[in-house]
Amino acid sequence: MIRIKFFALAGLCVLGSMACSELNPTSLDEEFLPPAPLTAEIRLGWDAFASNLEVFGGFGSPLELGSGVTARLFAGTLNARTLARFTGYPQAATVRDSAGNTRADSTLTFVGGWVVAVVDTLASVSSGPVTLSLGALQQEWDPRTTTWEFAVDTINDRRSWSEPGAGPATDLGMAVWDPAEGDSVRFAVDSAQVAAWADTLDLSRGVRLAAETEGVRLKINNVFLRLDTRSSIDPDTALVLTAPRQTITFIYDPIPAPPPDGIRIGGAPSFRTVLDIRVPDALTSPQSLCDAAGCPFALTVERLNYAAIVLRTRATPPAFQPTDTVNLDVRPVLLRSALPKSPLGTSITGGLGRRVGPDLFGSAAGAEIEIPVTQFIRDLIRGATATGATPPSTLALLSTFEPLSIAFASFYGPGSDLEPVLKLVVTAGPSVTLP
Amino acid sequence: MTLTLPGSLRSRRSAGRVALFFGCVAAVGSSSLEAQSLFNGVGLGVPTDPVDARSRALGNIGIGLWGTALLPGDPAAAAGITVPTALFTAQPSWVESTRDGTTAEARSTRFPLLGIAYPAWNLGTLTFSFGSFLDQRFSAERAVSLELQDGPLDATDEFRSEGGVSEIRLGLARPLTGSVAAGLQVGRYNGTLTRTLTRSLDGIDAEGSVLDFSASGRWAYSGTSVTAGASMNIGTVGRVAGSVTWSGDLEATPSESTEASGRAYDLPLQIRLGGTAVLAPGFAVTASFGSADWTSVSAGLGNATAQSARTYGAGVELGRAQILGRNAPLRFGYRRSDLPFALADGSPREIVWSGGFGLGLSETASVILAGVDLALERGTRSGGLIDESFWRAALTLRVAGF
């Protein structure tokens, strides 16, 4: 009896469990569906959705890039020099003595060295070999705030370079970098200069790498010091030790001014563009929408499927044209009155942002770039965020990584034929009714 | 009938059966509708009979079967139930539909009948049942290409209809004479229907930034029914029964968030007749007939039309078969039903061949204290351009105790 009841119960439960894998019958027949809703695309011009465009610069420092730039009259205008400072020298080395034993030698003598610069061959622009010059800096400088004009530019302490462009510098010689031969170039340094850089408390310590060949822009990935070293344990043995870079940055001239009529994003320090957004309560076009759903057509959260700011790329000045993909980010400005130092909300684009190829800011300028802002617009329509807070109505367009490069992205601004527009995709349909 | 069992044994058995019964109910969840079909999307859907596995196996619409039964369509059949009884039916189905050469599959499990009968002193037998009435679950899709300013955009419209109508009935059945019994049930229609149209803009390549358009409506059903029936045993050779169900309007009331209005449907009078003839000991044949004229609800059904629907069913029961030494009557049946709602291209009809058996798990003095019935049906539905074939199983668990 118990066995029979058990099997009956088990059988029933098996049948019941089938309910978990329910699959409704699905028809592909038009007769089973209610009338199709209408979906329309609307493009609002600048004056209908945005205002108060402003471009702010100065976000971040070239120091944060962790690389340098060296240029001379690139695109006829840009001069840039890489500045670097090395760490303290190694205090000891492991040396094999005359008996063949390995010992630590802490009495080292540095008899000379080489400054080695590593060039990013892909991100650099040159038509052939490039002559580079190396100099030793002679005055105190601050890697975080130094510019072409100023060695130090912190609060209450602004000191100019004696010569703009981190000069004057003690000439340490020249060398030729040939991209066909490799990615590095080196400069010989005598023992006196090596000794001068050994004092880590000396704030003037550093090297300046400059291009002597005109029309080039090189990205310097690294600069370090190779030390020719003599051991006290075995003076006949030559050692080569390394003093890696402590910091690397670059200075450049001219620093581009914010554009009066456009949108600029990126650079080092970076530019950001902010604009105020508003959304109309109702739409009065296109005609197909009015014919189907009537106008004015109330713009509601339920009806909005997609919203995007559509920008048109503009040729960036050649000296600052991107050579790699630009990642665009959009974030809400949380306190507009605090601009340009307002905190920003979380990224609307998410992840790596909207990726745009570098050619769209040069030869292929004028392309449309769509940046989705659907949730932001829905919050504006609703008048509240998902948490019930008042939604910000100002957006900041910026680089996902700030700064990423000396180059920046440019877009047409309001007043142009290619001004930004707000693209909306809306859907409306009749109410779902009973059969 | 009086059974004499030791008190302690009686209480243990009763508690065990109740635990078993409700354990199974809990295991399979609750739902009240049966059947899966594309015809669920035509008109008010597909009417579904709240019957048990025995009726299914015999091709019967649930009336005129030999012996006692708890069947909403045969109110007088409960008159002979002398001990508290509960039953529960589960019904999985597997459907393959073809329309214009396009094939779709569906599967589901429904629970078309939950019933309790309780002998109420000398009043007769009180009955309670919760059963299915109309199944309206289906979905439909269409691919559309939208012409936008940027160019064509691919999108998909999906329409989902979830829910249907079920019925709760309270009834009383009692013998009038030694061979004649009558029953009366008062029922209440209930259930909800949620219909949702969703448009997905598949063509916009902006993951996470494209939101579907969705429009939906939800309605609650309500209404009243009264079912009266009578049966007569013809000695030991047969039984005949008939019942009539009158229904008031089926009201569909929209929820507060539903823009569309509600509606009232004038449900038809349902007539059922059935009988069983015992041709030899352990050998019986059954036949049943049902009719309802649904044309009263045809107005406003869009491109669907309503018609009069008739159902015929017949079957045989071999009562002396045994499995594992226990009585396990074998059953075979055939049933043909008109579906009441059709598209313009044809009147749909369902034809079913069925088989099954029962198994008495615990039996005392000819009273089945626990039993199961199993039915397996192979059927087709066709109407216009829609053709469906399906397998459908039904399992009824029946327990009785004091």
Give the minimum alpha-carbon distance from B141 to chain A in angstroms, rounded to a whole number. 5
Give how many domains chain B has, as a whole number. 1
Residue B263 has pLDDT above 60, yes or no: yes
Q: Is pLDDT above 80 for A4?
A: no
Region B207-228: what's the mean pLDDT?
92
| CA distance, residue B360 to nearest chain A CA (Å) | 10
Q: Do A19 and B149 touch (CB under 8 A)?
A: no
Q: Which residues of A touch B199 (CB under 8 A)?
A: 37, 39, 305, 427, 429
Residue B373 domain boundaries: 7-400
pLDDT surpasses 80 at A29: no
Phi, psi of A232 (to 5 degrees): -75, -20
pLDDT beyond 60 at B33: no
- Among A8-22, A286-300, B97-111, B188-202, name the most confident range: B188-202
Give A89's pLDDT tier (boundaries 50, 70, 90): very high
In Å, how far is B93's CA from the nearest CA of chain A? 9
Residue of B39, B213, B250, B363 to mutate for A, most A C-beta atoms under 10 A: B213
Chain A CB contacts of B218 under 8 Å are none
Is B51 in contact with B71 (CB distance < 8 Å)?
yes
| Among candidates B159, B208, B258 on the partner chain, residue whose Cβ is nearest the Cβ of A34 | B159
Backbone angles phi, psi at B25, to 5 degrees: -60, -45
pLDDT for B302 equals: 75
Q: How far apart are CA B319 and CA B372, in angstroms?
A: 15
Summarize chain A as % helix, strand, coil (round to 5).
15, 45, 40
- What's the average model confidence in pLDDT over B63-71? 93
Distance from CA of A25 to the nearest CA of B (A): 5
Question: Given pLDDT bands bounded at 50, 70 and 90, which one contains residue A311?
Answer: very high
The answer to whether residue B158 sits within a structural domain is yes
List of chain A residues whose C-beta atoms are within 8 Å of the C-beta of residue B37: 25
Residues of A in contact with B262 (CB under 8 A): 434
Mean pLDDT, chain A, whole residue set: 90
Cβ neighbours of A305 in B, within 8 Å: 199, 201, 210-213
B131 to chain A, closest Cα gap in Å? 17
The model's pTM is 0.77
Smallest CA–CA distance from A6 into chain B, residue? B20
Checking if the pLDDT of B5 tops 50, the result is no
> Considering CB atoms only, which of A41, A431, A432 is closest to B150?
A41
Lowest mean pLDDT among A125-139, B256-270, B289-303: B289-303
User: Is B156 in the A-facing interface, judged by CB distances under 8 Å?
Assistant: no
Residue numbers of B between 317 and 336 with CB closer than 8 Å to A? 324, 326
- B213 at A interface, C-beta within 8 A: yes
Find, in chain B, the residue whose alpha carbon is nearest to that of A2: B361
B315-343 average pLDDT score: 91
Q: Is B331's pLDDT higher than 90?
A: yes
pLDDT of residue A7 exceeding 60, the answer is no
**Rounded alpha-carbon distances, angstroms, from residue A119 to A178, A229, B127, B349:** 10, 26, 91, 81
The reply to whether residue B211 touches residue A18, judged by beta carbons under 8 angstroms, is no
Residue B277 lies in a domain: yes
Pick the more confident residue, B368 or B24: B368
CATH number at residue B139: 2.40.160.60
Q: State how far residue B159 is from chain A, nearest Cα, in angstroms.
A: 6
Q: Which of A313, A422, A317 is nearest to A365 (CA)?
A: A313
Mutate to test the interface with A, among B12, B111, B153, B197 (most CBs of A within 10 A): B197
pLDDT digits (tens, 9 = 90+) for A219-261: 999 999 999 999 888 888 789 999 999 999 999 999 888 888 8
Best of B20, B22, B136, B211 to mutate (most A CBs within 10 Å, chain A): B211
Sign of CA dihedral A361, A367, A368, A369: negative
Q: Give CA separation, B388 vs A19, B304, B334, in Å.
A: 20, 18, 17
Q: Please tell me the distance in Å from B341's CA to the nearest CA on chain A.
A: 11
Check: CB of residue A171 under 8 Å from CB of residue A208: no
From residue B37, how far is each of A11, B92, B105, B208, B339 by CA, in Å?
25, 13, 9, 34, 11
A24·B44 Cβ contact <8 A: no
How many beta-carbon pairs under 8 angstroms link A with B?
A: 218
Chain B positions in Cβ-Cβ contact with residue A310 (cut-off 8 Å): none
pLDDT(B26) > 80: no
More confident residue, A295 or B59: B59
pLDDT at B16: 45
> Tens of pLDDT along A359-404?
999 989 999 999 999 999 999 999 998 888 999 999 999 999 888 8
Distance from CA of B331 to the nearest CA of A (A): 19
Which of A5, A33, A39 lies at the smallest CB-CB distance from B142?
A33
B297 → chain A, closest CA residue: A435
By mean pLDDT, which of A172-176, A190-194, A212-216, B257-261 is the weakest?
Answer: B257-261
Interface of B with A in 70-129 (CB under 8 A): 88, 90, 92, 95, 97, 99-100, 102, 104-109
> Does the structure show a pLDDT above 60 at B28?
no
B215 vs A18, A27, A429: nearest CB: A429
Task: Say yes or no for a CB contact (<8 Å) between B204 and A306.
Answer: yes
Position B36 scores a pLDDT of 66
- The closest CB to that of A433, out of B92, B104, B217, belongs to B217
- Cα-only R_g, chain B: 23
Domain annotation covers residue B387: yes
- pLDDT confidence of residue B22: 41
* Alpha helices (runs of H) in A229-271, residue ranges in sequence order: none
Q: State residue B109's pLDDT score.
A: 83
Does B26 touch chain A if contact means CB atoms closer than 8 Å? Answer: no
Percentage of chain B modeled with pLDDT above 70:
90
Q: What is the pLDDT of residue A131?
A: 97
Residue B399 touches partner A, C-beta closer than 8 Å: no
Place B337 in a pLDDT band, splitting at 50, 70 and 90: very high
Whether omega before A403 lies within 30 degrees of 0, making that bond cis, reads: yes
Q: Across the interface, do A431 and B397 touch by the CB < 8 Å criterion?
A: no
Closest residue by Cα to residue B167 from B118, B93, B89, B114: B114
CA atoms A118, A121, A125, A127: torsion sign: positive
Distance from CA of A282 to the nearest CA of B (A): 18
Return the pLDDT at A382: 93
CB contact under 8 A, A27 and B45: no
So what's the pLDDT on residue B19?
41
Report domain extents, chain A. Answer: 38-59+256-428, 78-253
E strands, A337-390, where? 354-356, 368-372
Share of chain A above pLDDT 70, in %: 93
B104–A8 CB contact, under 8 Å: no
User: In this model, does residue A8 exceed pLDDT 70?
Assistant: no
Q: Does the pLDDT at position B47 exceed 70?
A: yes
Query: What is the least distance, in Å, from the CA of A386 to any CA of chain B?
Result: 15
Tokens 């094999």, residue located: A96
Whether residue B365 has pLDDT greater than 80: no
B199 at the A interface (CB within 8 A)? yes
Nearest residue in B to A371, CA atom: B206
* Facing B209 at nearest CB: one of A34, A37, A306: A306
- Specify the pLDDT at position B48: 87
Q: How far is CA B246 from the centre of its chain?
A: 18
pLDDT over 50 (residue B24) = no
Nearest-CB residue to A23 (from B43, B106, B141): B106
Question: Do residue A378 and residue B211 have CB atoms under 8 angstroms apart?
Answer: yes
CATH of domain A38-59+256-428: 2.60.120
pLDDT of residue A112 exceeding 60, the answer is yes
Does residue B2 belong to any structural domain of this protein? no
**Which residues in chain A are contacts of B303 at CB distance < 8 A?**
31
Q: Contact, B73 vs B272, CB < 8 A?
A: yes
In a domain, B1, yes or no: no
